[in-house]
Amino acid sequence: MFKKRIKNLNKEIPIDILSFVDDGLLISQEKSYSLSNFFLLCSYNIISKILIDTGLIMEHNKTELFHFTRACHPPNPSIDLLSVGGSVISPKPIWWYLGFYFDHRLNFNYYTHFYAMKCLSTLSAMKMLGNSSRGLLPIQKHLLYRTCILPIVLYGFQLWFFKGTPIIKNITELKKMQRRAALWITGTFRTSPSKDIEAIAGLIPITLHLCKLNGRHHLRYTVTLYKTLGKLSDILHLNNRNNQLERRARPPRNISLDT
C-alpha cells in the first residue's frame, strides 16, 4: 500500500524520491524557485500524511532544504512547514549528504578544502611519531601517508575530477597538503622546492596520482559492465536456443484443404 501511494505521488507531482534506510530525499528540477518550492511542499505534505497513516512519524526538525543554481548570488527562498507541524526552513550554504559536501554550483571547493584540512590535522598529529633524528623511518612515514591520509583526502574525487571542470582550486588545496606531507617525510626545510621533495619522498604528483586512480576507476567500471553485459548476452543466447529447440520439437500441424 505504501509503495502504491508513493508511485501515485510520482505520477501526480514531478518529484524524484530517493530513500536510504531512514533518510529520504525529495528532488525537484524546475526553472523557478517558486515552482520548485511548491512541488516540494506538496510532496512533503503528502508523504508526511502517508507516513502517519502507516504508523510512522516524520521528524520535521531534521528536515533540510538546499537549492542548486549557477547564479553567483542566489535568492535562496525558504519553505514554510507550519501546515504539517514543522517550522520555516531556510536553505543552507553547504549540504552534507552521505559523507559528501555539496555547494550551490557543484564546484566542490568546500569539499576538497574540508578533507584537505582534515588530513593536515592528521599530519600534525603524526609528527609526534617521530622527527628527522629519531622515531619512524622515512619509508614508514611514506607508508602512513599512502595508507592513512591519501584515501581520506581523495574520497569521492570522481565527483569533481573529470574533463571540462574547473579544478585548479581543488588541485591547489591538494598540492599544499601533499607538500606538508613531503616535508614531514623527508625532514627538509620549508623553503625546499615541492617537486624535489616529492621525488625524494617517493610521492607521485597529485595530478598524476588522480589521473592514475581515475583511469583505474574507469577500467573497473568497464570490466564490470562488460561482465554484466556478457552474462546478459549469454542468458539471451540460451533463451533463443531454448525457443528454437521448442519450435523444432513441436509436431507439425494437420492442414486440410477443402475442395
Tens of pLDDT along 40-79? 888 888 888 877 777 777 777 778 888 888 777 778 788 8
Q: Residue 241 — pLDDT band, cuts 50, 70, 90?
A: low
pLDDT at 179 over 90: yes
**Reduced DSSP (H G I as helix, E B as strand, rest coil) percent helix, strand, coil of the chain, to 5:** 60, 10, 35
How many other β-carbons are positioned within 10 Å of the β-carbon of residue 220? 10
Q: Which amino acid is at 157?
A: F
Q: Residue 217 — pLDDT band, cuts 50, 70, 90?
A: confident
8 vs 30, higher pLDDT: 30
Half-sphere exposure of 124 (CA within 13 A, CB side): 6
Task: Please give the backbone phi and psi of residue 80, each rounded to the nearest 5 degrees, phi first.
Answer: -95, 120
Question: What is the model's pLDDT at position 117?
Answer: 92
Q: Residue 96 — pLDDT band, cuts 50, 70, 90?
A: confident
Cβ atoms of 76 and 91 within 8 Å: the answer is yes
Residue-wise pLDDT for 140-156, tens only, equals 899 999 998 999 999 88
Q: What is the dihedral angle through the alpha carbons of 42, 44, 49, 55, rounded to the nearest 10 degrees?
A: 170
CB under 8 A, 24+ apart: contacts of 28-35: 33/67, 33/75, 33/77, 34/77
CB under 8 A, 24+ apart: contacts of 156-160: 156/99, 156/100, 156/111, 157/210, 157/213, 157/214, 158/214, 158/217, 159/100, 159/108, 159/111, 160/107, 160/108, 160/111, 160/112
131 vs 215, higher pLDDT: 215
Residue 161 is classified by DSSP as -
* Average pLDDT taken over every residue of the chain: 80
Can you read off the three cell numbers belonging to residue 178? Answer: 601533499
